């Protein structure tokens, strides 16, 4: 196309100029005349009358023919010029169309590029929307977990506070009941009933402390498979005979640092709930162990700190009716049950056990699909059998020697009951209403006291702080610390303070004197 346009422009410049056209017309006329004259000369001329030649005869035809020749050449040249002008106009139009086509092609390319950019932008927008949605979902999940953790923590604080105060009341009841029983002749059945009821209330307090994550821990390396195998007789006696128990215990699993009794209680609670979920019909309860990483997405996760890396997983699954989301959100509430009036803390206490062992518990359940509980515990990092103080398990004589004991407690009832028990066993007692009072009286007469008995939680100076101050005066005086919390928590706080034993509230006269003898003989 470009070559054709170039040839047309060249022809237009060559043939369509006015000056050139006039020259071509003149040349054409001259050629016409020359041709005509030559034809006339070569043709035989007629003879003129009288015998001569008529010389004027050839001139007219020559002129006429020359004129027609010039006219023909002019017409041809005019037609040629018109044709070339039309061709030039067409070439111009083609040029304009080509330029317009090029602009359209360029515009289309820009539109295509814009469309590609738009598609890429849409893809990026969709990706950002997906990320935003996922982040919103994750934020909602984290908020739900945070609210759940806050709720459980608040309930734990409430349960711990109630258990602490309730233990003080039970201490007064048990101490006075044992004192009356020891000072009267014969055994009164009513006193035994009082003591039995107080012990049951103390068990409930221990469950509340376990739920609060402050239960007693005697930690040692435990083989979960062996523990489950040893617990099977108790499990089989606790579940319905319609429930088929199926064990899948892995070999050579790592040990876990745990309190065997609490871990056994948790497993038994999970298996009992799984068996009860089967209802009156037959079904299967599967207990398995394996090495696995905790997966919070595998169900509703209950853990304040999810263990990292591979953990020992104890899984209890049933083929029961399953749970609705509403039920699933309440199963760890104290005294909640779907069967009848709540019998105790149950799974709530189990969740406290999980918390004290730094583990995680996930629950996966839906209606008609059964339920699966997965307990993840971090593998043991030490081979030490226990880190509890040895004086806590030492054998003790029945009687302790005389001496003066400094007793400090902010509860007057506990103070009077404890003093009465010790005086009945031959001790003298000096009472202090708080830690500051105990430090003041001990500092005034440090040689007077054979032992000190301090409550862990008191206004002002607590038992541990008061014992620190007393150790600055006498670093060898035997000491007992009373507490309604777990022994391990107290053990960790008094470590390095010398001769110390732990006395759990509530206690009887025998327990008090036994601990006093232990710390005196240590």
Asked whether residue 481 is assigned to any structural domain, the reply reads yes
Q: Tell which phi-psi region holds residue 322, choosing left (phi > 0), alpha (psi between -120 and 50) or beta.
A: left
Mean pLDDT of 236-257: 83
* C-alpha separations of 347 from 10, 265, 274, 373 in Å: 102, 10, 12, 11
DSSP for 138-205, written as a single string:
HHHHHHHHHHHHHHHHHHHHHHHHHHHHHHHHHHHHHHHHHHHHHHSSS--HHHHHHHHHHHHHHHHH
What's the first-to-final CA gap in the chain, in angstroms?
115
pLDDT of amino acid 389: 29
Instruction: Provide, rounded to the nearest whole percent, the portion of the chain with pLDDT above 70.
Output: 71
pLDDT confidence of 17, banded at 50, 70, 90?
low
Mean pLDDT of 247-253: 86
Q: Domain check: are 410 and 367 in the same one?
A: no
Name the nearest CA neighbour of 220 among 391, 395, 388. 388
Query: Of how many residues is the chain composed?
Result: 522
Mean pLDDT of 339-356: 66
Q: Domain check: are 322 and 457 in the same one?
A: no
3-class secondary-structure state, position 491: helix
Asked whether residue 179 is assigned to any structural domain, the reply reads no
Lowest model confidence (mean pLDDT) among 91-105, 112-126, 345-359, 444-458:
345-359
Q: Domain check: are 409 and 374 in the same one?
A: no
Asked whether residue 429 is assigned to any structural domain, the reply reads yes
Q: Domain check: are 374 and 350 in the same one?
A: yes
Q: Give the dihedral of Cα atoms 41, 43, 44, 50; nearest 10 deg.
A: -50
pLDDT of 386 above 60: no
CB neighbourhood size of 100 (10 A): 10
CATH number at residue 417: 3.40.50.2300
Asked whether residue 164 is assigned to any structural domain, the reply reads no
Q: What is the DSSP letter of 499?
A: S
Q: Domain check: are 270 and 331 in the same one?
A: yes
pLDDT of 434 above 60: yes
| Chain segment 156-199, per-residue pLDDT in tens | 667 667 777 777 788 888 788 877 877 776 567 777 777 777 77
CA atoms within 13 A on the CB side of 291: 12
Of 125, 147, 174, the residue that ends a domain is: 125
Asked whether residue 141 is assigned to any structural domain, the reply reads no
Q: Domain check: are 243 and 355 in the same one?
A: yes
CATH number at residue 265: 3.30.565.10
pLDDT of amino acid 401: 47
| Chain segment 120-158, per-residue pLDDT in tens | 889 888 888 898 888 888 888 777 767 766 666 676 667
pLDDT of 408 above 60: yes
pLDDT of amino acid 263: 86
Q: Domain check: are 374 and 258 in the same one?
A: yes
| Total domains, the chain | 3
Quote the tokens at residue 1.
């196309």
CA distance 40 to 390: 156
pLDDT of 56 above 60: no
Mean pLDDT of 498-504: 83
pLDDT of amino acid 365: 87
Quote the tokens at residue 303.
């853990």
pLDDT of 50 above 90: no
Q: Domain check: are 238 and 356 in the same one?
A: yes
pLDDT of 253 above 80: yes
Q: Domain check: are 349 and 398 in the same one?
A: no
Q: Domain check: are 362 and 500 in the same one?
A: no
What is the reported pTM?
A: 0.44
| Residue 76 β-bridge partners | none
Mean pLDDT of 415-436: 89
Asked whether residue 150 is assigned to any structural domain, the reply reads no
Check if the beta carbon of residue 478 is closer than 8 Å to that of residue 508.
Answer: no
Separation of CA 489 from chain center: 29
Of 320, 354, 378, the residue that ends a domain is: 378
| Chain segment 447-492, per-residue pLDDT in tens | 899 999 999 888 888 888 999 899 899 888 889 988 876 666 677 7
Check if the beta carbon of residue 267 is closer than 8 Å to that of residue 357.
Answer: no
Quote the tokens at residue 166.
């309730």
Q: Which residues contact 208 (CB under 8 A, 6 or more apart)?
A: 159, 160, 162, 163, 166, 334, 345, 349
What is the domain range of residue 460? 390-521
pLDDT of amino acid 39: 53
Mean pLDDT of 491-507: 80
Q: What is the DSSP letter of 47?
A: B
3-class secondary-structure state, position 16: coil
pLDDT of amino acid 289: 93
Asked whether residue 83 is assigned to any structural domain, the reply reads yes
Check if the beta carbon of residue 54 is closer than 8 Å to that of residue 45.
Answer: yes
pLDDT of 298 above 70: no
Mean pLDDT of 314-330: 85
Asked whether residue 191 is assigned to any structural domain, the reply reads no
Q: Domain check: are 120 and 29 in the same one?
A: yes
pLDDT confidence of 498, banded at 50, 70, 90?
confident
Quote the tokens at residue 11.
């022809």
* C-alpha separations of 248 from 48, 252, 271, 287 in Å: 148, 13, 14, 6
- Residue linked to tokens 């006193």: 191
């Amino acid at each position: 196309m470009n070559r054709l346009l170039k040839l047309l422009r060249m022809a237009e410049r060559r043939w369509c100029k006015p000056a050139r056209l006039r020259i071509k017309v003149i040349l054409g006329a001259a050629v016409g005349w020359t041709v005509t004259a030559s034809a006339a000369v070569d043709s035989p001329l007629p003879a003129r009358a009288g015998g001569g030649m008529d010389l004027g005869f050839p001139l007219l035809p020559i002129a006429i023919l020359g004129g027609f020749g010039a006219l023909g050449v002019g017409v041809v040249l005019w037609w040629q010029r018109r044709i070339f002008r039309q061709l030039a106009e067409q070439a111009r139009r083609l040029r304009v169309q080509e330029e317009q086509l090029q602009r359209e092609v360029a515009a289309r390319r820009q539109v295509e590029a814009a469309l590609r950019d738009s598609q890429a932008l849409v893809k990026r927008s969709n990706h950002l929307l997906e990320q935003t949605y996922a982040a919103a979902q994750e934020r909602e999940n984290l908020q739900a977990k945070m609210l759940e953790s806050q709720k459980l923590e608040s309930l734990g604080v409430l349960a711990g506070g109630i258990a602490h105060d309730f233990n003080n009341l039970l201490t007064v009841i048990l101490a006075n009941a044992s004192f009356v029983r020891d000072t009267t002749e014969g055994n009164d059945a009513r006193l035994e009933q009082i003591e039995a009821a107080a012990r049951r209330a103390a068990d409930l307090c221990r469950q509340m402390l376990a739920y609060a994550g402050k239960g007693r821990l005697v930690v040692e390396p435990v083989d979960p498979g062996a523990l489950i195998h040893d617990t099977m007789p108790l499990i089989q006696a606790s579940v319905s005979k319609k429930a088929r128990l199926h064990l899948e215990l892995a070999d050579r699993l790592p040990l876990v640092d745990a309190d065997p009794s609490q871990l056994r209680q948790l497993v038994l609670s999970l298996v009992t709930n799984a068996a009860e979920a089967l209802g009156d019909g037959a079904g299967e309860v599967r207990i398995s162990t394996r090495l696995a990483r905790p997966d919070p997405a595998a169900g509703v996760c209950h853990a304040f700190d999810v263990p990292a890396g591979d953990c020992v997983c104890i899984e209890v699954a049933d083929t029961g009716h399953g749970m609705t989301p509403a039920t699933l959100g309440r199963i760890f509430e104290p005294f909640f049950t779907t069967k009848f009036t709540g019998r105790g803390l149950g799974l709530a206490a189990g969740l406290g056990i999980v918390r004290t062992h730094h583990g995680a518990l996930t629950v996966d359940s839906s209606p008609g699909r059964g339920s699966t509980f997965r307990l993840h515990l971090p593998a043991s990092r030490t081979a030490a059998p226990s880190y509890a103080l040895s004086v806590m398990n030492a054998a003790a004589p029945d009687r302790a020697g005389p001496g003066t004991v400094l007793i400090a407690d902010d509860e007057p009832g506990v103070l009077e009951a404890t003093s009465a028990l010790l005086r009945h066993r031959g001790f003298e007692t000096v009472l202090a209403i708080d830690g500051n009072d105990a430090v003041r009286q001990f500092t005034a007469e440090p040689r007077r006291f054979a032992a000190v008995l301090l409550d862990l939680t008191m206004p002002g100076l607590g038992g541990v702080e008061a014992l620190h101050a007393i150790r600055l005066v006498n670093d060898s005086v035997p000491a007992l610390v009373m507490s309604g919390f777990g022994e391990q928590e107290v053990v960790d706080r008094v470590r390095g303070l010398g001769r110390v034993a732990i006395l759990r509230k509530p206690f009887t006269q025998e327990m008090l004197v036994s601990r006093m003898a232990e710390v005196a003989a240590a």
